[in-house]
Amino acid sequence: MTVEVPVPGAAAVHTSRPATARVGMVGGGQLARMTHAAAIDLGIDLYVLAVHPDEPATLAGAITRLGSPDDLEALRAFAVEVDVVTLDHELVSDEGLAALAASGHPVRPSAAALLYAKDKLHARTELAALGLPVPPFAPVDTVEDVTAFATQHGWPVVCKATRGGYDGRGVEVVHDPEVAAAVLARGGRWMVEAHVDIAVEVAVVTARRPGGEHVTYPVVETVQQDGQLVELVQPARIAPEVAERAIALGTRVAEAVDGVGIVAVELFVGPDGAITLNELALRPHNSGHATIEAATTSQFHNHLRAVLDWPLGATSLRAPAAALVNLLGPEGPDRIAERLPAALAVSEAAVHLYGKASRPGRKIGHVTVLGEDAEVALARAREVADLLVGPGGRSTRSET
Ligand SMILES: Nc1ncnc2c1ncn2[C@@H]1O[C@H](COP(=O)(O)OP(=O)(O)OP(=O)(O)O)[C@@H](O)[C@H]1O
Ligand SMILES: [Mg+2]
């Protein structure tokens, strides 16, 4: 766009702003905030549809339209302002996604792809039908259904809300019918699956263009506590042969769901090296956050490049090892701002704060450290996390 600005008494001053891509992201959380930082690098205007004016991306200066992801009118109006719509969360209704698609602007990933991230039962059913390795699972309506499944596969079982779960909410390891009854009584649709014997959890993060061209990052080793990712190491400390199979499976899943943008596939690796699929995300994912410092191209840059159908950036790592520790809101007062200078004194640590109010257990930022050695980097990242969220946060990052 070119704007002529007349200046009295002088020749016209010619100010110009180059034409720029406009990407719309539904949701203004930390993923949108970090995508905004990448958008700045690429001269892209990131628009976010945020519910509140104090969401992380809005606070960071993303162009904000206020509206609920449930409001079909707001979604339609948002879509027409941008070249392509993408999402920072899966909590857009099926009708909402249809409304976005009806705007005539590309929605990437598509509603069909997104369903794999929104609905765990759909994902399990479809990926099992392709012969991909998912744990035994079944939809359940009653305690009898859970008991019948457990009779076949053994207790404990894992009850999962088919929709709406995140950070371990809606995932319950259930040891007996009484607890199963209490879980089902919460309402909503549930499924049950066999409790997998997990040696290590890993994630495969792929960026995929509409035509299927893709790049994949080295496998990430993740540690969850109470179902929530608390720390990670990249590359994962697993045998190269296991890593190869993980990459092959992750990219196969990304292709099967026809994802566009970042596709993060969570995997369980058993003690014998067998790999089982957990869930997938069709957006930048916590397991990819270390790529900001650790990779040639971050997952946020590659997400933007992929949804715009631009060439993807290299995924090679810049250091032998990267470690990341999530900052979870501590019990008691939030003293992060006051503690930040002390944490920054650890000069090799990269601190990311999301601008979110602290609540106990809430993800409010992360710390990344690169190094020669994963253990050393992880110890350093934990140390900095402790400096920021205090010893209260320490118990949530027990020695793993
Ligand atoms: N079948 C299973 N067997 C053993 N552990 C499991 C099983 N399913 C899930 N878990 C554990 O629970 C964690 C959370 O499960 P899942 O990823 O399905 O939930 P979520 O709340 O949607 O997570 P996210 O925060 O990644 O969105 C897993 O990372 C794993 O540690
Ligand atoms: Mg998960």
- pLDDT score for 14: 57
Which ligand has the minimum distance to the alpha carbon of residue 166?
1
Render 222-266 in DSSP notation, one character per residue.
Answer: EEEETTEEEEEEES-SS-HHHHHHHHHHHHHHHHHTT--EEEEEE
Per mean pLDDT, which range of 88-97, 236-245, 276-285, 381-390 is the poorest?
Answer: 88-97
Closest-CA residue, ligand 1 atom 27, reads: 166
Give me the helix-helix angle, 94-102 and 72-80, nearest 10°.
30
| For range 126-142, the mean pLDDT | 98
DSSP SS3 for 153: helix
Q: What is the pLDDT of residue 4?
A: 46
Residue pLDDT, tens place only, 197-212: 999 999 999 999 999 9
Confidence of residue 398 (pLDDT cuts 50, 70, 90): very low
Who wins on pLDDT, 12 or 363?
363
Predicted local distance difference test score (pLDDT) of residue 399: 40
pLDDT at 400 over 60: no
Closest residue by CA, ligand 1 atom 28: 227
Give the contacts of 57 (CB within 8 A, at least 6 positions apart). Answer: 25, 28, 29, 30, 32, 33, 35, 36, 46, 48, 50, 64, 88
Ligand 2 centroid, distance to 90 Cα (angstroms): 13
* pLDDT value at residue 210: 98
Q: How far is the CA of 160 from the centre of ligand 1 (A)?
A: 9
Interatomic CA distance for residues 170 and 45, integer angstroms: 35
pTM for the full predicted model: 0.94
Residue 397 has pLDDT above 70, yes or no: no
| 154 has pLDDT over 50 | yes
Q: What is the mean pLDDT of residues 32-51?
A: 98
What's residue 103's pLDDT?
83
Q: Is the Cβ atom of 162 under 6 angstroms away from ligand 1?
A: no
The model's confidence at residue 7, banded by pLDDT at 50, 70 and 90, is very low
pLDDT at 10 over 60: no
Q: Name the residue with the closest Cα to ligand 1, atom 12.
A: 227
Q: What would the mean pLDDT of 69-73 be, rounded to a whole number?
A: 94
Q: What is the pLDDT of residue 1?
A: 41
Judge if the beta carbon of residue 177 lies within 6 A of ligand 1. no
193 lines ligand 1 (CB under 6 A): yes
52 CA distance to ligand 2 middle (Å):
26
What pLDDT, on a 0 to 100 scale, did the predictor assign at position 13? 55
Query: Which pLDDT does position 15 carry in this prediction?
Result: 64
Which ligand is closest to the CA of 153, given by its number?
1
Indicate the pLDDT class of residue 218, thresholds 50, 70 and 90. very high
| Helix residue ranges per DSSP H, the chain | 30-42, 56-59, 72-80, 94-102, 111-118, 120-129, 143-153, 177-184, 240-256, 291-294, 299-307, 336-344, 374-389
For residue 109, cis peptide bond before it (omega within 30 degrees of 0): yes
On the question of pLDDT at 257 being above 90, the answer is yes
Ligand nearest to the CA of 201: 1
Strands 22-26 and 84-87: parallel
Q: pLDDT at position 148, please?
A: 98
Beta strands 171-174 and 84-87, pairing class:
unpaired
CA angle 90, 92, 98 (to 5 degrees): 120
Whether 395 has a pLDDT exceeding 60, the answer reads: no
**Residue with CA at minimum distance from ligand 1 atom 1:** 195
The percentage of the chain sitting over the pLDDT mark of 90, rounded to a whole number, equals: 86
For the chain, give the percent of residues with pLDDT over 70.
93
Between CA 96 and CA 48 the distance in angstroms is 15
Q: Which residues, 6 or more positions from 375, have their beta carbon under 8 angstroms from its beta carbon?
A: none
195 in contact with ligand 1, CB cutoff 6 A: yes
What's the gap in Å between 168 CA and the centre of ligand 1? Answer: 6
Q: Measured in angstroms, how far is the CA atom of residue 192 from the centroid of ligand 1?
A: 12
Q: What is the pLDDT of residue 391?
A: 61
Q: Is the CB of 156 under 6 A from ligand 1?
A: no
Burial class, 305, CB count within 10 angstroms (exposed 0-12 / middle 13-18 / buried 19+): buried
166 lines ligand 1 (CB under 6 A): yes
Whether residue 164 is predicted with pLDDT greater than 90 in this model: the reply is no
Ligand 1 centroid vs 108 CA: distance in angstroms? 25
Question: Rounded to an integer, what distance in angstroms lies between the CA atom of residue 297 and that of residue 318?
Answer: 10
Tens-place pLDDT, residues 74-130: 999 999 999 999 999 998 988 998 888 888 889 999 999 999 999 999 999 999 999
Q: Could you tell me if 57 and 36 are in contact, meaning their C-beta atoms sit under 8 angstroms apart?
A: yes
Going by pLDDT thresholds of 50, 70 and 90, the confidence category of residue 271 is: very high
User: Which atom number of ligand 1 is nearest to the Cα of residue 195?
Assistant: 3
Q: Which atom of ligand 1 is nearest to the CA of 229?
A: 25
Q: Mean pLDDT, the chain, as a whole number? A: 93
317, pLDDT greater than 70: yes
pLDDT at res. 137: 98
Could you tell which of 91, 119, 158, 171 is best to mutate to test the pocket of ligand 1, judged by most ligand atoms within 8 Å of the CB? 171
Measured from the CA of 194, which atom of ligand 1 is nearest?
Answer: 1
Whether residue 388 has pLDDT greater than 80: yes
291 pLDDT exceeds 50? yes
Residue-wise pLDDT for 323-367, tens only, equals 999 999 998 888 999 999 999 999 999 999 999 999 999 999 999
Ligand number nearest CA of 136 is 1
Ligand nearest to the CA of 89: 1
| Predicted pLDDT at 393 | 55
Distance of CA 149 to the CA centre of its chain: 31
